[in-house]
Amino acid sequence: MTGFVPPPYPYDRLKPLEAKARAVPGGTIDLSIGTPCDPPPALVHEALSDPDAVRAYPPSVGTAAYREAVVGWLERRFDVRVAPTQVAACVGSKELVAGMPQWLRLRTPERDTVLYPAISYPTYAMGATLAGCRAVPVPVDDAWRLRLEAIDPADAARALCLWVNTPGNPAGGLDDLGAAAAWGRTHGVPVLSDECYAEFTWDGPSRSILQHGTDGVLAVHSLSKRSNFAGARIGFYAGDAELVGYLSEVRKHAGFMPPGPVQLAGALAWRDHRHVAEQVERYRERLELLIEAFARIGLEAPMPAGAFYLWVPAPDGDAWALAERLAVEGGALVSPGEFYGEAGAGHVRVAAVQPTERIRLLVDRLG
C-alpha cells in the first residue's frame, strides 16, 4: 500500500526558468515568491535580542503585551473592539492555514470538507489534504471574488470551514466579507478570513471580517507582509471567543508558540504605523513600474484591487510561454497561474518584491 506522496512544491517547478533568467546579464529579478526584500522596522531590533524573552518558554496563546498590541491595532485600523481573550498568536499564518483543518476536524469529526477560493494560495487546499479532508474550490467571478451562491448545499453541509482571502493572493480581489460572514452563520460553518494583505488595499479602505461581528468568524493576520517580518514567523487569529479558546488549547498541547523575542518585537510592530505607510508607497510604486514593464511588450497588466501582485493574462492563455519569455528577455522569474488552482492557468502572478531599482531594470530590459 502506498501512503501519501507530497506533490512537487509549486515553486520548485521554476528551476529550469530560473537558469534562463540567471543567464541574462545582470542576473535574475525574482518576482515569483512573495517574500519581502525591504527591512523590518528599526524599532524591533533591540527586542529581538532581549535575553529575558529568550530564557523562558513563551505562552502559546501569546503574551499579554502581544495580544494587547493586537487589540489596539484592530481598534485603530478597523474600528473593531475585541477582548484579549479573543486573540491568540500563531507562528506566522501559513502554519495556521495548513493546520486548521486538522484542528477543526477533531472538533467536528462528522464534517470533512474545506471550502476555499478556486484561485488562491495553495496552502488552503493542501491543509485539507494533509488532514485527510476534501478540498472543494469555490468559483470566483470576473473580479476574482467568491461566488458564495455557487457552493453546493451538499458541500456546505459537510464543511469544516470556508476560507476567504481579502485582498486575495494571487489576483487581488476584494470579497464581500459581510456576505461571507452571513453565509457562514446561516450554514453553521466557521468562516476564516485570511487578511494578511489588508494594509495593501488599493480600492477603498482596508477591511476585516470582524467589522461584521465575531460570531462564527476568525480573522487571520501576519506581520510577514505588513512589517517585512516573514523570517520571524508571527501572526495572530482573532474573533469568535469559543473558537479562539478551543484552538488555543489544542495548539498549546501541540507546542505551537512564537519565540519570546519575536512576540516582544511583534507587539512593537503592531503599535507602529509609520513603517507600514512607507511600505505601502514602495509597493504602489513597484506595481506601477511593473505595469509599465508589461505595457512595453504589449500586454495589459491591471492594477489589483489589493495586495502586491499583478495577475497578468497570458497571450493565448499560455502562462508557461509567457513565464519563459519574461525569463529569457527580462531575466524575470514569475509564477504560472496554475500554481494557484486550475482556474488560474491562463495567467501569471508577478510579485512586486524586488527593490525598486531592480524593477526599473526590468522595465529597461523589456523596453
Residues 109 and 22 in one domain: no
| 4 domain residue, yes or no | no
Q: Are residues 16 and 73 in the same domain?
A: no
Report residue 221: phi and psi, to 5°: -130, 160
Q: Are residues 338 and 256 part of one domain?
A: no
Cα–Cα distance, 161 to 184 (Å, whole number): 8
CATH of the domain at 79: 3.40.640.10
Indicate whether 200 and 306 sit together in one domain: no
Residue 211 belongs to some domain of the structure: yes
Residue 209 lies in a domain: yes
Same domain, 260 and 293: no
**Residues 297, 227 share a domain:** no
* In-domain check, residue 19: yes
Cis peptide before 304 (omega within 30 of 0): no
- pTM confidence score: 0.96
Enumerate residues 6+ apart whose C-beta is below 8 A from 281.
none
How far apart, in whole angstroms, are the C-alpha atoms of residue 74 and residue 82? Answer: 8
Which residues have a Cβ under 8 Å from the Cβ of 85 and sit 6 or more positions away? Answer: 241, 244, 245
Over its length of 367 residues, how does the chain's per-residue pLDDT go in tens digits? 578 899 889 999 999 999 999 999 999 999 999 999 999 999 999 999 888 889 899 999 999 999 999 999 999 999 999 999 999 999 999 999 999 999 999 999 999 999 999 999 999 999 999 999 999 999 999 999 999 999 999 999 999 999 999 999 999 999 999 999 999 999 999 999 999 999 999 999 999 999 999 999 999 999 999 999 999 999 999 999 999 999 999 999 999 999 999 999 999 999 999 999 999 999 999 999 999 999 999 999 999 999 999 999 999 999 999 999 999 999 999 999 999 999 999 999 999 999 999 999 999 999 8
Residue that the C-alpha cell 469544516 belongs to: 160
Rounded CA gap, 200 and 207, in Å? 10
Place of cell 489589493: 306
CB 183 within 8 A of CB 153: no
For the chain, the domain total comes to: 2
In angstroms, the CA 367 to CA 365 distance is: 5
User: Does residue 88 belong to any structural domain of this protein?
Assistant: yes
Residue 178 domain-assigned (yes or no):
yes
CA atoms within 13 A on the CB side of 120: 29
Cα(241)–Cα(239) distance, integer angstroms: 6
Residue 153 lies in a domain: yes
pLDDT given at position 1: 56
CA 181 to chain centre: 19
Measured CA to CA, the distance from residue 348 to residue 340 in angstroms comes to 10
- Does residue 282 contact residue 356 with C-beta atoms inside 8 Å? yes
Whether residue 348 is found in the same domain as residue 223? no
Choosing from 238, 254, 271, the residue where a domain stops is: 271
Pair (111, 208) in one structural domain: yes
Residue 90's SS3 state is strand
Domain boundary among 253, 271, 289: 271
Q: Are residues 55 and 111 in the same domain?
A: yes
CATH number of the CATH domain containing 340: 3.90.1150.10
Angle at 302 between CA 297 and CA 305, to 5 degrees: 155
In sequence order, which ranges of 32-143 are alpha helices (DSSP H)?
51-55, 64-78, 92-107, 123-130
CB 188 within 8 A of CB 144: no
The helix/strand/coil state of 336 is: strand
Question: Which residues span the domain enclosing 237?
Answer: 42-271
Task: Classify residue 2: in a domain, yes or no.
Answer: no
Indicate the helix (H) or strand (E) that contains 158.
helix 153-158
Q: Are residues 21 and 143 in the same domain?
A: no
**Residue where a domain terminates, one of 271, 290, 307:** 271
* Predicted local confidence at residue 129, as pLDDT: 96
CA distances from 21 to 30, 169, 260 (A): 9, 24, 40
Q: Are residues 113 and 78 in the same domain?
A: yes
Within this chain, do residues 261 and 154 fall inside the same structural domain, yes or no? yes
